[in-house]
Amino acid sequence: MKAVILSIGQELTSGQTVDTNSAWLSQKLGERGIETIEHRTVADQRRQIADAIAESVKKVDLLIVTGGLGPTEDDLTRFALADVLGVELVVDAAAMEHMEAFFRGRGWRMSESNRVQAMAPKGANMLPNLLGTAPGLACRIGAADVYVMPGVPYEMKDMYARCVAPHLPAQRGAIIHHILHTFGAGESNVGAAIADLMKRDSNPLVGTTVAGGMVSIRIISKASTADEARELANATARQVKERLGAFVVGEGDDTMASVVGGLLRRAGATLSTAESCTGGMVGEMITAVPGSSEYYTGGVVAYANQVKMQLLGVSEQMLVEHGAVSEPVAMQMAVGARERFNTTWAVSITGVAGPGGGTEAKPVGLVYVGLAGKDCRLVERLMIPGLRDIVRLRASLNALNILRMRLIG
Amino acid sequence: MKAVILSIGQELTSGQTVDTNSAWLSQKLGERGIETIEHRTVADQRRQIADAIAESVKKVDLLIVTGGLGPTEDDLTRFALADVLGVELVVDAAAMEHMEAFFRGRGWRMSESNRVQAMAPKGANMLPNLLGTAPGLACRIGAADVYVMPGVPYEMKDMYARCVAPHLPAQRGAIIHHILHTFGAGESNVGAAIADLMKRDSNPLVGTTVAGGMVSIRIISKASTADEARELANATARQVKERLGAFVVGEGDDTMASVVGGLLRRAGATLSTAESCTGGMVGEMITAVPGSSEYYTGGVVAYANQVKMQLLGVSEQMLVEHGAVSEPVAMQMAVGARERFNTTWAVSITGVAGPGGGTEAKPVGLVYVGLAGKDCRLVERLMIPGLRDIVRLRASLNALNILRMRLIG
């Protein structure tokens, strides 16, 4: 079974609101083995909505529509649906009663305009809305099942669970999404390493995405049962891991920080941080992980040189000779943090995040990340392309990654 | 001029990633008076992408496509575009040179797979990508201008500003989006204060959204010229500001941190931070603002009590008597940071971010934010509902906000 998800609303096409309903629905459908082949969003225009519905039902056997069921003049989805069906709108007595009860129950006056919400295209079924005034609609157009729900996310999610999911035909197949997160290889190298696994129309289907500074590998497998699909995905995941080795940071909800945290916990080790250009981003990432107090004691944000000297013991001579963005300063920052915080490990970052502050010798994007441990003193020199946010993000991930590489040996 | 925005990617149609590019692009086009009539998202399937392009260019005179330009097997947008144009892909010498330079400049090895990114459908123009390896594409299909950009948001935004916006025809009508950011009032209170301005179908159209812990007010005005539309929006913005006063933090691209930074700069004042449960988030927010080194010297992430004592001079007695999450400890953290960093101001945060660590007396969401200045010692007690991420975000914004309120008097 294949689906199209259609969202209705001027606030979406104008960019005032980001559509999150479609992604949520695609995930839910995917869990049931239903593949979403397209998301589509059109404004509150009766003709446009009707065209989008008519075109979609030709392509797939499931169309889910959200939005445009409200009481105002620009809520036109039910009219467009009636146009496509070639029928009139008729009042649904039960829906009218339910809506009147909804208003009575809250001691609100029901305005005339609400009455239209109790109207459905002749032959369509009403889907009760327990959280709002706009019922949903269900009907069949040609070979496609069509469900129309309100655009308000929590109303839609409740209605989907009660009125749509239970009626979706059980799929013979199941679709499993297995995601691996890599760091340090670059998307093109990752792609080259697994090119043969990424052939189109293969099962599992393998793809890559760049998000949050990491390259993620999606493994989407289809099989007759969820277990088979999972086994299929796991087999491919094992191949990917063999080829990419230590570039693979984690899976699913893992983050660089949660993986490093797990390694520190297992090693019974502790960590502190010394950050300049990232201003606390590494600490923020580490402490975003619940329970990070088990291994993270804290850090210094040494933005000014004075702070680098005073709180981390970086020598003035080093700062004068080599500058704040240099290998020896990165090293002293890490060593200084490790001593002061008395931790097993300390990571440090100093760099030019931009947009200003770059020079010929030290351009924007130049970053040194340091790692200090018992018998370990490492500094990596990075040239990170991109804007300030990206330089800081990639610098922070690199700082955690050199520690990760060390911890996994 | 009307536009369709087409997004390419399995990660979008499967719901793994929420498409934010389309909303951003619609806003930018709207600012130029170009109406987006449809958003559409299809998976990485050559045929589907080609069909979506072919159908879209029949409807509108501007088609913007994002995604599918990467170097891997599942990046098929350029192939689909060539299919629609009925031409071959040819190597663009300049693009190849630019890409080789991009890799040389970073001392990276360019993998074979990258070469495809220097290929364009015969007759199409390459749009240089200054932040990544995938150039964009521009061509004309029938009566429509077609621009194809990478899906990575920051690459897309930079390319749009340089290579697309300047070439969009001037429109007669203009749509202006004016955005005000508020903090501390709560969405329902903001809504109540400006209810009369939020009437549907009015011009400007006013709406509220919650994002990043702030309540934003969107003012969308239409007029025959950008100046008229801007004046219309400004008039409404003035009304909103009169009613919400100090709750209004800033406008447009302002962030809490950039606004506080501006106030500090104007006052010639400096700031340091002392963070416990936020782990560096406040420092990260402050330093996300270019030029923040002018007023921010640094901070201490005092996650462990030992660090609170050692680096911030919090007394052991206070920690024993009142616990780490308490008013006196928040105060000592701020005072300690201000002394050690020798800054005009210091803010501190200590709290229970959860999910664990809550008690009857000190539940998850209990946060104290402190402010220390020359003749100023403030601590605010907050109870922040929500998950760990939200507690940390709201705590960080509150810490910056008490300083903001103090600085604006």
Residues B95, B160: one domain? yes
pLDDT of B68-83, one tens digit each?
Answer: 999 888 899 999 999 9
> Across chain A, how many H-helices and E-strands are there?
14, 17
pLDDT of A34-57, one tens digit each?
Answer: 999 999 999 988 999 999 999 999
**Are residues B42 and A37, on separate chains, in Cβ contact within 8 Å?**
yes
Name the 3-class secondary structure at A137. strand
Residues A61, A144 contacting (CB under 8 angstroms): yes
Alpha carbon separation from A42 to A8, A26, A68, A141 (Å, rounded):
5, 18, 10, 19
pLDDT of A2-32, one tens digit each?
Answer: 999 999 998 899 887 889 999 999 988 987 8
Q: Give backbone dihedrals phi and psi of B172, rounded to 5 degrees, phi first.
A: -70, -55
Residues B46, B79 contacting (CB under 8 angstroms): yes
Q: Rounded to an integer, what distance in angstroms lies between the CA atom of residue A206 and that of residue A194?
A: 9
Residues B280, B197: one domain? no
Residues A294, A362: one domain? yes
Type of residue at B284? E
**Are residues A18 and B15, on separate chains, in Cβ contact within 8 Å?**
no
Q: Rounded to an integer, what distance in angstroms lies between the CA atom of residue B120 and that of residue A401?
A: 36
Residues B193, B280: one domain? no
Residues A273, A247: one domain? no
The CATH number of the domain where B387 resides is what?
A: 3.90.950.20
Residues B300, B237: one domain? no
Cα A164–chain centre separation: 25
What is the reported pLDDT for B200? 65
Instruction: Give, rounded to a whole angstrom, the gap between the first and last alpha carbons of chain A.
Output: 46
What is the reported pLDDT for B192? 83
Mean pLDDT of A273-286: 98
Residues B241, B275: one domain? no
Give the end of a domain, one of B123, B146, B167. Answer: B167
Distance from CA of A307 to the nearest CA of B (A): 7
Angle at which helices B256-267 and B388-407 cross, to 10°: 30
Which residues of chain A neighbour B260 with C-beta distances below 8 Å? none
Helices (H), A15-134: 21-31, 46-59, 77-85, 93-106
3-state secondary structure B293-333: HHCEEEEEEECCHHHHHHHHCCCHHHHHHHCCCCHHHHHHH
Residues B158, B178: one domain? no
Name the 3-class secondary structure at A92. coil
Residues A338, A345 contacting (CB under 8 angstroms): yes
Mutate to test the interface with A, among B35, B73, B217, B349 (most CBs of A within 10 A): B73
Please check the confidence at residue B212 and state whether its pLDDT lies above 80.
no
Alpha carbon separation from A133 to A82, A129, B188 (Å, rounded):
20, 7, 19
Question: Which of the 8 DSSP states describes residue A201?
Answer: T
Type of residue at B373? G
The CATH number of the domain where A204 resides is what?
A: 3.30.70.2860
Strand positions, DSSP E, B185-340: 205-211, 214-223, 248-251, 271-275, 296-302
Beta bridge partners of A127: A136
Please state which of the ranges A169-178, A369-378, B316-325, B366-375 shows the lowest mean pLDDT: A169-178
Question: Which of the 8 DSSP states describes residue B110?
Answer: P
Q: Rounded to an integer, what distance in angstroms lies between the CA atom of residue B182 and that of residue B264?
A: 19
For residue A346, give both structure tokens: 């300390």
Cα B121–chain centre separation: 33
What is the reported pLDDT for A57? 97
Residues B222, B276: one domain? no
Residues B135, B127 contacting (CB under 8 angstroms): yes
**Are residues A299 and B301, on separate chains, in Cβ contact within 8 Å?**
yes
Distance from CA of B37 to the nearest CA of A (A): 6
User: B189 exposed, middle or buried (CB, 10 Å; 0-12, 13-18, 19+)?
Assistant: middle
Name the 3-class secondary structure at B354. coil
Residues B13, B160: one domain? yes
Which residues of chain B neighbour A68 with C-beta distances below 8 Å? none
Distance from CA of B378 to the nearest CA of A (A): 23
Residues B224, B289: one domain? no
Residues B247, B261: one domain? no
Residues A71, A113 contacting (CB under 8 angstroms): yes
Give the end of a domain, one of A107, A140, A167. Answer: A167
pLDDT of A280-307, one tens digit each?
Answer: 999 999 999 999 999 999 999 999 999 9
Mean pLDDT taken over chain B: 93
**Are residues A281 and B280, on separate chains, in Cβ contact within 8 Å?**
yes
What is the reported pLDDT for A113? 74
**Are residues A283 and B288, on separate chains, in Cβ contact within 8 Å?**
no
Residues B341, A371 contacting (CB under 8 angstroms): no
User: B91 exposed, middle or buried (CB, 10 Å; 0-12, 13-18, 19+)?
Assistant: exposed
- Is the model more confident about A120 or about B191? A120
**Domain, as residue range, for A28:** 2-167
Mutate to test the interface with A, among B2, B111, B301, B390 (most CBs of A within 10 A): B301
Type of residue at B378? L
Strand positions, DSSP E, A303-343: none
Give the end of a domain, one of A203, A222, A251. Answer: A251
Q: Taking CA A342 as the corner, what is the angle to CA A340 and CA A348, rounded to the nearest 5 degrees?
A: 65
The CATH number of the domain where A151 resides is what?
A: 3.40.980.10
pTM of the model: 0.80
Which residues of chain B neighbour A23 with C-beta distances below 8 Å? 12, 15-19
**Are residues B41 and A42, on separate chains, in Cβ contact within 8 Å?**
no
Please check the confidence at residue B186 and state whether its pLDDT lies above 90.
no
Residues B285, B400 contacting (CB under 8 angstroms): yes
Which residues of chain A neighbour B4 with C-beta distances below 8 Å? none
Of A386, A306, A297, the closest CA to residue B293 belongs to A306
**Are residues A290 and B355, on separate chains, in Cβ contact within 8 Å?**
yes
What is the number of structural domains in chain B?
A: 3
